[in-house]
Structure 1
């Protein structure tokens, strides 16, 4: 399976400290997956690596061959992936605007019929769980339904060091065991949906919404 980890934060300044708390969480997820799911291809997609235009123009709105090269490459990665891990902080009880903005640049047909896992974090005690509730609806609309187990990391700065390793006093086995509830579900569903996609092309079952809202309207 090919799995993409989306790190949904672009804030790289202080205060607060540390500036990119989510980078620690994403790196820990990457380490956990590489250790426990060695047979799979895991790649980290950092929203900070994709500086987007101020005026919103999604990948699919460009004439064929005219989209920025970075968006083309990411579209290819999303299309070839079998599942997604979405890592987000919480902003006003909602998911990261940077993550939503990046994902919204691509049509749902690239994400659909593949599973996702939700990972949230915070510097405080709630671990971003309120953002996670809204992310379920957002990811469902993209078509990459989230698995039931979610990962929440409260006080992430005390759990993970800058490189994603454990802070003193924290047990990697305990945290990775917690992560594994979501990741094992994700891999199971990714394998199941990949197998069925190879037998039945889901995009032939109903018309994709590509040019006009009437393509999804009731009669």
Structure 2
């Protein structure tokens, strides 16, 4: 199975130290997942040169989307599940993560599971961002599993390479991560098997043309 790990930070300034604290969290997720018959790829928003004027992938004519967006769209469609790694900004999800994900329609993510991973330099571990991420990911169609990962004071927990700084706690952190990723891979396997049996997009066609496709029926609807 294939998974994408989305990193939700582009920060390179203080007061955070290190500035891209989430990178070590994403690397820890990558190490936990990329093994046996599971492959995982890190998606870093810094690798995408997004235009300041917002235009999502699905707004381009077929075959006309920028190469970076098209490549990522194909990876999203081919993946079996997703891991979303985010800090907390004003009790909400990272703007960098939301901005990147908003370039793609729910039809690419749908009928697959996701996992929420949050972190902070302080004591809360980004838990308030996770609350909003549940509804955000559900709208994308990649429903999050119930177990989540929250890492307070992540700079004291993980080294730059994603390994635990304290050897004595490494097994505890591995078990903590494993609970969430076990749920994720279980649901991903179940969803993949069912997609192979029945194409969900034929049962419920995706809304791709216009937001009004989501409207409820009314006398004035066309």
Verify same fold: TM over 0.5.
yes
- How far apart are 1:31 and its partner, in Å? 1.1
How many residues are aligned here?
217
Q: Which residue of 2 aligns with 1:12?
A: 12
Shift of residue 166, structure 1, vs aligned partner? 1.7
2: CA distance between counterparts of 1:122 and 1:29?
15
Residue 73 in structure 1 maps to residue 71 in structure 2: yes
| SS at 2:88 equivalent | coil
Aligned to 2:172: 174
What is the aligned partner in structure 2 of residue 22 from structure 1? 22
Residues in 2 aligned to 1:88 and 1:133: alpha-carbon distance in whole angstroms? 12
**Structure 2: any 5+ residue segments left out of the alignment?**
218-222
| Deviation of the 1:169 alpha carbon | 5.3
Q: Does structure 1 retain, via aligned residues, the 8 Å contact 2:16–2:121?
A: no
- What corresponds to 1:87 in structure 2? 85
Give the RMSD, CA atoms, in angstroms.
Answer: 1.1
Segments of 5+ residues of structure 1 without an aligned counterpart are none
Residue of structure 1 equivalent to 2:220: none
TM-score scaled by structure 1? 0.96
Correspondence list, 1:1-219, <5 A: 1-34=1-34, 37-168=35-166, 171-219=169-217
Q: Deviation at 1:214? A: 3.4
**2: distance between equivalents of 1:90 and 1:64?**
35
2-side partners of 1:123 and 1:213: how far apart?
A: 38
Write the distance in 1 (CA, Å) between the matches of 2:167 and 2:81.
32
